[in-house]
């Protein structure tokens, strides 16, 4: 599973803003991007731009007109000039930070995050994909679950669409990450997968449900007439 790029992932999650100093220091060296040390976080942008600074791999400090403690200065080996300040918009891609882009004011960064985030925080939480992405046995099993009135107890419920060959799934308590599941059940993601396999769910269905749930999908519809989702395996229903 770790080798598969999750095709259900869309948009950006956990968007944040980071104020970054763009520092030039030595000839022929690319600019360095560093956050301002927390002790100088109160400085305005106009108190930073075009000012000399010292920096290390983790942060930068303005030296002109500022008192820098010796213990912090000792960590800095670079000397440069802050050419400008940018507000980097960052996202989190399954636990890894991702740089989305730079803006030149906190207001612009906030606007960009608002437009990317939408009110729900997601581009889409509903997918319609080809039923060939799960085995014939899995599709029949989903249909049987949809015809039973009792809850499955497996953090998803199946349902039928009237006048259609499609079967839908309502995913519960997404995303199915260990961190999120611990707030809802006493399971982690691996244990939930094991429970699904122990309940007799076909592997093709378990794989698709867990990929979709990791992307915080809430409604997943399997339809024989829907297009295939690139990146997901197909099964022969002939």
Do 136 and 214 lie in a common domain? yes
Domain count, the chain: 2
Do 80 and 167 lie in a common domain? no
Pair type for strands 219-223 and 167-171: antiparallel
More confident residue, 8 or 120: 8
**Where is average pLDDT lowest: 25-29, 80-84, 86-90, 188-192?**
25-29
What are the DSSP calls for 18-86, one per residue? EEEEEEE-STTPPPEEEEBPGGGTT--GGGTTT-EEEE-SS-EEE-TT----HHHHTT--EEEEEEEEE
Pair type for strands 219-223 and 126-130: parallel
Percent of the chain with pLDDT over 90: 74
Which pLDDT does position 4 carry in this prediction?
61
Any domain includes 38: yes
Q: Is the pLDDT of residue 114 over 90?
A: no
Q: pLDDT tens digits for 184-220?
A: 998 999 999 999 999 999 999 999 999 999 988 999 9
Any domain includes 234: no
What is the pTM for the complete model shown? 0.66
Do 150 and 218 lie in a common domain? yes
Structural domain span for residue 21:
16-117
Any domain includes 58: yes
Query: Which of 65, 97, 117 is at the close of a domain?
Result: 117
Any domain includes 75: yes
């Amino acid at each position: 599973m770790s080798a598969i790029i999750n095709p259900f992932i869309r948009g950006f999650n956990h968007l944040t803003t980071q104020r970054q100093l763009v520092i030039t220091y030595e000839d022929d060296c690319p600019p360095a991007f560093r956050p301002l040390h927390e002790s100088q976080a109160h400085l305005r942008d106009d108190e930073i731009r075009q000012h000399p600074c010292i920096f290390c791999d983790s942060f930068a400090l303005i030296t002109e007109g500022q008192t820098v403690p010796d213990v912090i200065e000792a960590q800095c080996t670079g000397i440069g000039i802050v050419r400008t300040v940018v507000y980097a918009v960052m996202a989190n891609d399954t636990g890894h930070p991702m740089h989305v882009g730079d803006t030149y004011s906190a207001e612009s960064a906030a606007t960009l995050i608002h437009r990317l985030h939408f009110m729900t925080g997601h581009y889409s939480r509903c997918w319609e994909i080809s039923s060939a992405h799960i085995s014939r046995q899995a599709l029949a099993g989903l249909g049987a679950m949809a015809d039973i009135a009792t809850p499955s107890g497996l953090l998803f419920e199946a349902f039928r669409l009237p006048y259609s060959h499609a079967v839908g799934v309502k995913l519960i308590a997404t995303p199915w990450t260990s961190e999120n599941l611990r707030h809802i059940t006493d399971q982690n993601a691996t244990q939930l997968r094991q429970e699904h396999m122990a309940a007799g769910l076909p592997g093709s269905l378990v794989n698709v449900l867990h990929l979709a749930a990791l992307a915080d999908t809430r409604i997943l519809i399997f339809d024989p007439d829907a297009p295939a989702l690139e990146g997901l395996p197909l099964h022969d229903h002939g």
